[in-house]
Amino acid sequence: MAVQRAKKTKARRPRPGLVKVVNPTTGKVFETFPITTREQVDAKVAKAREAFKSWSRLDVDERSVYLARFAEILRKRKEDYGRTMTMEMGKILRESIAEVEKCATAADFFAQNSKAFLTPEEAHTDAQRAYIAFHPRGVLGSIMPWNFPMWQIIRFAIPALAAGNTAVIKPASASPRTGLFVEEAFREAGLPDGVLQVVVGDYTTGTALIRSRVDFVSLTGSVSTGVKIAREAARDLKKTVLELGGSDPFIVAEDADLDQAAKGAIVGRFINNGQSCIAAKRFLVVDAVADEFLAKLEENVRRLKVGDPLDPSTDIGPLYAKSQRDEIELQVKDAVAKGAKLLVGGKRVKGPGWFFEPTLLGGVTTKMKVMRQETFGPVLPVFRVPSLDAAIEQANDTEFGLGASVWTRSLSLADDIARRIDSGLVFVNNAVKSDPRMPFGGVKHSGIGRELSRYGLLEMVNVKTVQIYPPGSPAPQGPHVE
């Protein structure tokens, strides 16, 4: 009788998922990464908690040494890192390299200023000594987008580390390699093991990170993700900083320098192939100068060269994903169907990759998606308004409140305009940009909290009241309120 052998059953190990990064210039897979599993996320957070014990005890100046070394490494590698960033998400090479340089500048800024930012503030109370201390919060989790894949990580990570926290970061699934470069550069700077770690994956990894033992969650991403993450973090009362979407107004007053304003419009709208949270997205132009301004815009938009983002002569590369191009195409079609005038562009570019023509729309109304939704692509819609007051009213008629750019020669009006616009940033006679010296963030659905500057750093600390009484002081007397 034949011996029956028990069939060998292979132990079923769950196959880890993969993140496939597609080069948006070719539409082909560029690199593949295994997704960090929930268990691995938990293990990294545990390691970060262990590293926190010694990192948080260092003096700020000791921590700053690592930040300064990190800045040097970024400058040394800017070409390599920039090139990979372009291949991951399609921004033109000179903007990628400038992004790496800006990260180095921010690292230097916090290396030089964090000591002053974190110096305890002496106070006067009935105690012998009273002060306000700025102590780290612990392990901070961060979930980041793809559009400025290094800058967004850095503007969270540098102040987080300067303040004595440790960090676990999840870059967008479109740009994990850039996130891993940040980890690599810090390793090379000699940063102690576990102080900054990167996990790779999609929203499932993001959710695992929020549910892990992190003490705080920072998100830069869309409004809908912000709502989900805030809900998830609230289950365990974790503090969040949310940097979300925007539909920034760009106001052109009757007395504006129109040539300057037109140049500002091109930078403000088309930077990063039109995919920036602080891109100017709604152009509100006073009627009296609208025709002249449109003519200048048309001339400038026609000059933009679309092509391979690695080619130094290119101005506009591809959108980061096919889905993003489909979205922008729908928004343009909606505007045209509702009566907008297509003055330049308006179509996808034939051939491989996710290219879309730089597009100028006139005759825009508030019924169109381009005025109501965030347009994340190279589309410039112009809406006519009768006056500056009407422009400000229109500027505020949105769920968003990130930035605003206003062009006028009447500088005496600048403070009043800045006060009346509901946004986190207002720039007069310039395009909106971030700067490590200034706070960055939005109001309304554009977010909660601030990044950069001392204000951004203070989001990531425990502001602690310390009151020291001499031994033998009388016990508190009299009625107390909490």
C-beta separation of 199 from 167 below 8 A: no
Q: Which of 109, 374, 398, 448 binds ligand NAD (CB under 6 A)?
A: 374
**Residues 6 or more apart in contact with residue 475 via CB below 8 angstroms:** none
Give the Cα-Cα-Cα angle 358, 360, 365 (nearest 5 degrees). Answer: 140
Residue 82 lies near ligand NAD (rule: CB under 6 A): no
Q: How far is the CB of 60 from ligand NAD (least distance, A)?
A: 26
Enumerate residues 148-207 that contact ligand NAD by CB under 6 A: 152, 170, 172-173, 202-203, 206-207
Q: How many residues bind ligand NAD (CB under 6 A)?
A: 29
Q: Which region among 41-49, 145-153, 157-165, 382-390 touches ligand NAD (by CB under 6 A)?
A: 145-153
The region of 80-88, 144-152, 181-189, 462-470 touching ligand NAD under the rule CB under 6 A is 144-152
Residue 103 designated active-site: no
CB of 161 to ligand NAD, least distance (A): 19
Would you count residue 456 as binding ligand NAD (CB under 6 A)? no
**Span near ligand NAD by CB under 6 A; candidates 90-98, 143-151, 192-200, 468-476:** 143-151
Q: Which two tokens stand for residue 473?
A: 């002081």
Of residues 405-444, those binding ligand NAD (CB under 6 A): 442
Q: In the complex with ligand NAD, which residue's Cβ is closer, 172 or 261?
A: 172
Which is closer to ligand NAD, CB of 40 or CB of 410?
40
- Tell whether residue 215 is a contact of ligand NAD (CB under 6 A): no
Closest distance of CB 377 from ligand NAD, Å:
11
- Report residue 58: phi and psi, to 5°: -65, 155
Distances 111 to 45, 107, 118, 139, 221 between C-alpha atoms, Å: 25, 6, 12, 20, 27
Which 3-state string (H, E, C) describes 235-277?
A: CCCCEEEEECCCCEEEEECCCCCHHHHHHHHHHHHHHHHHCCC
27: left (phi over 0), alpha (psi -120 to 50) or beta: left
User: Least distance (Å) from ligand NAD to the CB of residue 209?
Assistant: 7
Angle between helices 223-234 and 203-211 (to 10 degrees): 30
The conformational region for residue 302 under phi > 0 = left, psi -120 to 50 = alpha, else beta, is alpha
Q: Which two tokens stand for residue 308?
A: 């391979």
Tokens of 70: 């990190």
Helices 38-55 and 203-211: crossing angle in degrees, nearest 10, is 50
Residue with smallest beta-carbon separation from ligand NAD = 206
Under rule CB under 6 A, residue 222 binds ligand NAD: yes
**Binding to ligand NAD by residue 140, rule CB under 6 A?**
no
Residue 277 annotated as catalytic: yes
Q: Which of 176, 221, 378, 449 binds ligand NAD (CB under 6 A)?
A: 221
Tokens, residue 194 = 């576990």
Q: How far is the CB of 375 from ligand NAD (least distance, A)?
A: 10
CB of 469 to ligand NAD, least distance (A): 44
Catalytic residue among 88, 95, 103, 277: 277
Only segment of 59-67, 90-98, 221-229, 384-392 that touches ligand NAD (CB under 6 A): 221-229
Nearer Cβ to ligand NAD (147/165): 147
Choose which of 246, 317, 346, 353 interacts with ligand NAD (CB under 6 A).
246
Comparing C-alpha atoms, which of 166, 154, 168, 159 is closest to residue 197?
Answer: 168
* Cβ-contact 449, 240 below 8 angstroms: yes
Nearer of residues 164 and 403 to ligand NAD, judged by Cβ: 403
Annotated active-site residue in 95, 243, 327, 357: 243
Q: Does 448 engage in binding with ligand NAD (CB under 6 A)?
A: no
What span, in angstroms and rounded, lies between the C-alpha atoms of 456 and 437? 10
- C-alpha distances (whole Å) from 244 to each of 8, 199, 258, 330, 336 are 52, 21, 31, 22, 28
Q: Select 244 or 261, whichever has its Cβ closest to ligand NAD.
A: 244
DSSP character string of 148-203: STTHHHHHHHHHHHHTT-EEEEE--TT-HHHHHHHHHHHHHTTPPTTSEEE---SH
Q: Pick from 441, 462, 460, 464: which is nearest to 216 by CA?
A: 460
Site for ligand NAD contains 229 (CB under 6 A):
yes
Quick one: which of 100, 241, 277, 417 contacts ligand NAD (CB under 6 A)? Answer: 277
Task: List contacts with ligand NAD (CB under 6 A).
Answer: 143-147, 152, 170, 172-173, 202-203, 206-207, 220-222, 225, 228-229, 243-246, 277, 374, 402, 442, 446-447
Residues classed as catalytic = 243, 277
